[in-house]
Amino acid sequence: MQTHAAKRVEITIERVMQSRLTDALSAAGVTGYTILPVYGGSGRSGPWSRSGQVSKAGGMVQVVCIIRPDRLDALLESAFAVVERHIGVVCITDCDVLRAERF
Amino acid sequence: MSEVLYLAGENLISPIVLSFALGLIAALARSDLSIPEAAAKALSIYLLFAIGFKGGVSVADHGIDLSLGQSLVAGIVLSAITPLIAFLLLQLLSKMDRLNAAAVAGHYGSISIVTFVAATSVLENRGLSSEGYMVAVAAAMEAPAILSALWLASRDGSGKKMDKELWREIFLNGSIVLLIGSFLIGWITGPKGLAEIDSFIVAPFKGVLCLFLLDMGLLAGRGMKSGRGAVGIGAIAFGILMPIIGSLLGLLCAFLLGLSVGGSMLLMVLSASASYIAVPAAMRVALPEANPSIYLTLSLGVTFPFNLVLGIPLYLTLAQAFIGG
């Protein structure tokens, strides 16, 4: 089956920054993304867990975008402006998609 | 002093405090006991709705006067100036840098609604009433402290410029909207409205509070473990001294406002408590370089247990001694 090269960008960021990030992505023309809850983890700021949290301050989310390679720079620039000062990870991997026109 | 110890002893063996202790011990012992995030949120929504609704009903029942407006102004002023005192005290007692000190100070100007709820429960147990509008004062005290903290942080160029989104998040955060909204519903519907839903918001209230405090204990225990080393002795001393100073400011305001013993105690609790819901979220957005381990450990791991176990009986005794009753 015919597949098309694409980039998968996973941005793990603090929950409080979620709407700012998705707003920035939308402003950069990236309208397709998926938001996943992140249960817990550990990093430079120590371990954390989502269980029992009532404040948005303690949680993380992962925003996943799959885009055409030529749109990667615009996405990263807009995302970096939001995540620069915050805890989080930005990860880019190559992937293949079946329907290129959707990305 | 004996009255404080008696009240503290009585408070210590209440289901509320013991539930908190259970969570704390379970977390420190690394038990796998946990409250799912969605359940914890549901419990907090229930408590906020119930406390707001009952406050509104009380206002509908007793009517309002000038003291409502005066108390709101006093609450806003207390919330705005407490961080300045906290900031100075923190710099005096610890070697904390300016940015972290500003972030911590913001937490101590704002309020802990669960401490407030626990205090109302103690008042109910002792048959003491309070001004129903104290719920609105609690809501009014959430935000000004955040602005003071950001101002303190901005004095050396740190922090983020306030944007429209941040203003919206501070003033329309879920707990403020729910508290004010349920207060208004209670006010509009009055005792008749309460009669319709009291089997839901009155009878189960303390049981739900116990479960929520179990969760708070778990969070506090985990915070103590992960925050070990993040705060020194000076900062821990601050976490105990600052609520006492805040409560005395609250007592002074209550005296000037002519509040009842119950209302005075609640204003003291509001002034003494430290936020762990609204302010941490705002600080993560506006001051991301500030270390959350410091402010969450102090707020949730030091001041919250202190207020719950010793602070509330102390503030009640002081209110009874100085206001009467």
The one-digit pLDDT tens for each residue of chain B (325 residues) are 677 777 777 777 889 889 999 999 999 999 999 898 889 889 999 998 999 999 899 888 877 778 889 999 999 999 999 999 999 999 999 989 999 999 999 999 999 999 999 999 899 888 998 998 999 999 899 889 999 999 998 876 665 566 777 888 888 888 889 989 999 999 999 999 999 999 998 889 989 999 999 998 998 888 888 777 778 899 999 999 999 999 999 999 999 999 999 999 999 999 999 998 888 888 888 888 888 888 988 998 899 999 999 999 999 999 999 987 5
User: Do A57 and B280 lie within an 8 Å CB cutoff?
Assistant: yes
Nearest to B315 by CA among B130, B67, B91: B130
CATH no., domain B2-28+35-323:
1.20.1530.20
CB A36 within 8 A of CB A62: yes
User: Do A16 and B285 lie within an 8 Å CB cutoff?
Assistant: yes
Burial B233-248 (b: 16+ CB within 10 A, else e): ebbbebbbbbbbbbbb
pLDDT at A46 over 80: no
Give the residues across from A37 on adjacent strands. Answer: A61
Question: What's the pLDDT band for A100 if we cut at 50, 70, 90?
Answer: confident
pTM, full prediction = 0.86
- Given the structure tokens 């105690």, which residue do they identify? B265
Helices (H), B63-173: 66-93, 98-109, 113-125, 134-140, 144-154, 164-171
Tokens of B137: 């004062």
- The rounded distance, in Å, linking the Cα atoms of A22 and B25 is 40
Nearest to B9 by CA among B325, B313, B317: B313
Using CB atoms within 10 A of its CB, is residue B17 exposed (0-12), middle (13-18) or buried (19+)?
buried
Residue A52 is predicted with a pLDDT of 66
Burial B21-60 (b: 16+ CB within 10 A, else e): bbbbebbeeeeebbbebeebbbbbebbbbbbbbbbbbbbb
Tokens of B20: 């908190």
CB A5 within 8 A of CB A57: no
Residue B120 is predicted with a pLDDT of 92
- The rounded distance, in Å, linking the Cα atoms of B292 and B29 is 23
Q: Provide ipTM, 2 decimals.
A: 0.77
Tokens of B41: 């949120």
Residue B171 is predicted with a pLDDT of 82
Neighbours of B91 (CB within 10 A): 16
Nearest to B148 by CA among B92, B94, B93, B85: B85
CA distance B61 to chain A (A): 32
- The rounded distance, in Å, linking the Cα atoms of B294 and B229 is 9
Helix/strand/coil (H/E/C) assignment for every residue in B29-93: CCCCCCCCHHHHHHHHHHHHHHHHHHHHHHHHHHCCCHHHHHHHHHHHHHHHHHHHHHHHHHHHH
- Given the structure tokens 């602005």, which residue do they identify? B147
> CB distance from B191 to chain A under 8 Å?
no
Candidate from B34, B41, B292 with C-beta closest to A54 = B41
Which residues are within 8 A (CB) of A61 and not within 5 positions of it... i.e. 6 or more apart? A12, A13, A14, A15, A18, A35, A36, A37, A38
Using CB atoms within 10 A of its CB, is residue A63 exposed (0-12), middle (13-18) or buried (19+)?
buried
Residues of A in contact with B283 (CB under 8 A): 57
Indicate which of A54, A82, A85, A86 best probes the interface with B, i.e. most B CBs within 10 Å of its own CB.
A54
Residue B161 is predicted with a pLDDT of 63
- Percentage, residues of chain A above pLDDT 90: 36
Residue B61 is predicted with a pLDDT of 82
Residue B79 is predicted with a pLDDT of 96
Phi, psi of A8 (to 5 degrees): -105, 120
Tokens of B14: 């209440």
Residue B160 is predicted with a pLDDT of 59
> CB distance from A59 to chain B under 8 Å?
yes
Nearest to B262 by CA among B139, B138, B136, B128: B128
- Give domain limits for chain B: 2-28+35-323
Give the domain extent around A87: 4-102
Phi, psi of B321 (to 5 degrees): -70, -40
- The rounded distance, in Å, linking the Cα atoms of B304 and A94 is 48
User: Into how many domains does chain A fold?
Assistant: 1
Eight-class DSSP state of B324:
-
- Residue A5 three-state SS: strand
User: Do A47 and B283 lie within an 8 Å CB cutoff?
Assistant: no
Give the residues across from A36 on adjacent strands. Answer: A62
